[in-house]
Amino acid sequence: MTLARRIIFVFGGMLWFLFSAGFGLILIAYVSGGAGLQFFGGPISSGSVLLGLVHVTGLVAAFLICFAIGAGLCAHGLVGERTGENDGKATSSRV
């Protein structure tokens, strides 16, 4: 793998980490703001709890997916391709 391609993978991974951090910040702001209570005024209702739970679940899923993509791209860019004489085949150390 060329150096330019490895740099692009690492840079792309960092961007996905930033997307993940953005979703994390939105999640923290949403939970600290009431997580669904702002949509229905007054007392806590089952609708506001359900809406808040769906939003929090979606934000957590988006955070985890972006983080996983970023980790995969960074790892692919930093490690590179496997090169060796056995081409990934298991070898025995016994003689």
Domain map of the chain by residue range?
A: 3-78
0.85 exceeded by the pTM? Answer: no
Look up residue 95 and give its two tokens. Answer: 């003689």
Q: What is the mean pLDDT of each run of 10 residues along the chain (95 residues)?
A: 87 95 92 71 72 89 96 89 64 63
What does the pLDDT read at residue 53?
Answer: 86
What does the pLDDT read at residue 52?
Answer: 81
What does the pLDDT read at residue 69?
Answer: 95
Positive/negative CA dihedral, 87, 88, 89, 91: positive
What does the pLDDT read at residue 42?
Answer: 63
What does the pLDDT read at residue 46?
Answer: 74
What does the pLDDT read at residue 87?
Answer: 57
